[in-house]
Amino acid sequence: MSLTKQESVYTRNWAKERSVIVLEDDKEYLVASRLTPVLKRRGIGSMSELIGQLPLLKPAADLEDEVVDAMATNETFFFRNKHSFDLIREHLLPDLQAKLSSERKLSIWSAAYSSD
């Protein structure tokens, strides 16, 4: 199922307001792919019908919770962005090792964060 640009903008703004989930402008495909299973489970006929229901939902309504959960990135796999870890291994750590060769200990803190 697809959605219009206007529906995508509304849904992304709604998700941000309700849950602080931020999706970029070019993520229409992501919004549609995440909400399609909600349509099927709920027996809702179209994306427009679902989006039309959003402003009517009360906070903590079952459908609201389901839509917010669908919009969230629920992947918690630490190494899911392999490219970032390759850069750390190939560039950052060797540079730190060279600069801190007299040190015997290196502490690294990884803060939880997601922008998807």
Looking at residue 57, its pLDDT comes to: 83
CATH number at residue 40: 1.10.155
| pLDDT tens per residue, range 28-60 | 888 889 899 999 999 999 999 999 998 888 877
Predicted pLDDT of residue 90: 92
More confident residue, 41 or 110: 41
pLDDT, tens digit, 9 for 90 and up, residues 83-106: 888 888 899 888 888 888 787 777
49 within some domain: yes
Nearest to 31 by CA among 16, 53, 45, 42: 16
Domain residues for the domain of 22 are 5-71
